[in-house]
Each structure stands twice: as C-alpha cells, then as structure tokens.
Amino acid sequence: MTQLATRLREGTGKSHTIAENTAYMKCFLKGIMAREPFRKLMANLYLVYGTLEDQIRQHLDCPAVKGLYFPEIERQANLAKDLEFYYGDQWQTEIEPTEAGQQYVARIQAAADIDPALLVAHAYVRYMGDLSGGQALKMITRKALNLPPDRGTGLHEFASLPTPEAQRDFKMSYRDALNALPVTEEQITAIVEEANLAFALNRDVMHSLEEDVKAAVGWPVFEAIVHGKDRQGSTEVVAHH
Ligand code: HEM
C-alpha cells in the first residue's frame, strides 16, 4: 500500500483552489452560466475524455492503469449525448476544441508515451472532480440553463452511482484503489506532478472560454464577479496559527 490518494489530495490542493477561482468557475458558482460557454466546455471535455479513455483501454497491460480501471464511470458516451442535445444531429462536425483543449489532449497522449502510469493522474483529476464539486455544478447548470429533465448534464450523471451515498462510497473505493496501485516512490512523485499539470490544463481550457462567459453575462457583471472575493479552496489544507 502507498499513500497515493493523500499525496494527490495534498499535492494538488493549491491547484484545486486556483481551478475553483477561475473566472469561469466563479461565475458558474454564482449561478451565472450561459449555453455557449457551457457547451464549448462539454465539447472540449468530450475530446479530452475520448483521448483519456482510449489511452486507458490501450494500456491495460500496465498494472497501474489496470488497477484504476473503472469502465462504469467512463464519460465519453454521456458527453456525446449532451453534445447532440446542444449542437444537434451534426454535432460531430460542429464541435471544435480550443487551442487549450488541443494541448490537453496532446498532453494525455504524451503522458501515456512517457509512462502509462501517468494516466492515473489524468483519470484522478477528472473523475474525482466530476464526482465531487461536479455534483453541485450539475444543479447550478440545470437551473441556469433551464434544461429539460435528463438532458444536458450527462457529464455529471453516473448511472451506476445514482445517489450521493453511492458516489461517496465509490470515491472511497477509488482512493483505496489509488493506494493499492503498484507504483514506485519515483512514479508517485511523477503522478502528483502530472496531476498538477492536469489541473493547469483544465484551468487553461476554462480561460480559453472566458470571452464567451463575458459575452453572455456582460462585462460589468463579469468584472464584479472576477474581482470579488476568492473562495477558500475546497481541498486545500489551510494552516491555522
Ligand atoms: C468551483 C468549482 C469546484 C468546486 C466547488 C469543487 C469542490 C470540491 C469539493 C468540495 C471537493 C471535496 C470532495 C470530497 O472530499 O469528497 C472536491 C474534490 C476534488 N475536486 Fe473539485 N471543485 C471544483 C472544481 C474542480 C475542478 C475544475 C477540478 C479539476 C478539473 C476539480 C477536481 C477535484 C478533485 C480531483 C477532487 C478530489 C480531491 C481528493 O480528495 O483527492 N475540482 N472538489
């Protein structure tokens, strides 16, 4: 057993705080979300998850990848349904990643070439995120975009984990699985570093959609929210003196 789960949580706490305080997320948390920036984020994530899930399936001969393989939480099919809803039948030709989205995809491929065990970092950042803060974001999205029932928030729907309790239990098993991965100390360090990079890539994708957020909410509201107080991070350990 290793302490990989704790090392990841503690080692990415600052990155998580930064991701929570991007303009995109700050507006989102205030309930201000518009269709255009939201569907563009889903389009980028469709390509990111497609790459991640393909790479994971291609590297199941790597014990670390195999040990964290949970096909029941794969996101690509749910995102495809969302994109059909937001872009229509021709969604596959309509969606286009931003430059930052392309860099994220390229890094997942490069990481798999360097050491497939680095895919663990990319899986952790996305799946644990979607199962954590993502659940609150789902409710905000449904309200802000006034969505019809069961459409448009597939990213945060887990058919195999329908209740908050099921999701909490799953996250515990996921952390146990992380701790049971056969990885060396050197690999642990590299995985934590890669997870911080994955957070940075997520942040860059959100930055790449800021103009769309601004266009939707108007710059005075945007400026007021972005320059408003930062959130204390949800996962960062804050030292009290
Ligand atoms: C405003 C946006 C966000 C909020 C409010 C939020 C909130 C949270 C909360 C409350 C937790 C703790 C859950 C728990 O311990 O059970 C958590 C965990 C996590 N979040 Fe976020 N989050 C946000 C954005 C993000 C983003 C953008 C990412 C990355 C793409 C992310 C990735 C993660 C990860 C990987 C964890 C698991 C930490 C661990 O326990 O190891 N979050 N988030």
> Which band of pLDDT confidence, cut at 50, 70 and 90, is reported for residue 133?
confident
- With a 6 Å cutoff on the Cβ, whether 141 touches ligand 1 is no
The pLDDT of residue 135 is above 60: yes
Go through the chain and tell me how many residues it has: 241
Query: Which residue has its alpha carbon closest to ligand 1 atom 18?
Result: 132
pLDDT at 239 over 90: no
Q: What angle do CA 123, 128, 129 make, to 5 degrees?
A: 105
pLDDT, one tens digit per residue, over 140-189 is 999 999 999 889 999 999 999 999 999 999 999 999 999 999 999 999 99
Residue whose tokens read 């099919």: 77
pLDDT digit string, tens, across residues 18-47: 999 999 999 999 988 899 999 999 999 999
Q: How far apart are CA 31 and CA 38, in angstroms?
A: 12
Cα 170 to ligand 1 centroid, rounded to whole Å: 15
**Which residues are CB-neighbours of 155 under 8 A, at least 6 positions away?**
42, 45, 75, 78, 79, 82, 130, 134, 138
User: How close is the Cα of 168 to the center of ligand 1, in Å?
Assistant: 13
CA of 239 to the centre of ligand 1 (A): 19
Count of CB atoms within 10 A of residue 137's CB?
21
Q: What percent of the chain has pLDDT over 90?
A: 85
Ligand 1 atom at shortest distance from the alpha carbon of 8: 41
Cα of 106 vs centre of ligand 1, distance in Å, is 23
Say if domain 4-226 classifies as CATH 2.60.40.150: no
Q: Does 9 sit in the ligand 1 pocket, CB within 6 Å?
A: yes
Average pLDDT, the chain: 95
CA–CA distance from 55 to each of 3, 52, 60, 108, 118 (Å)?
Answer: 25, 5, 9, 8, 11
Structure token digits, residue 30: 């205030």
Nearest residue (by CA) to ligand 1, atom 23, is: 133
Structural contact between residues 122 and 109, judged by C-beta atoms closer than 8 angstroms? no
Which of 29, 234, 237 for a ligand 1 pocket mutation test, highest count of atoms within 8 Å of Cβ? 234
The whole-number pLDDT of residue 85 equals 98
Asked if residue 130 has its Cβ within 6 Å of ligand 1, the reply is: no
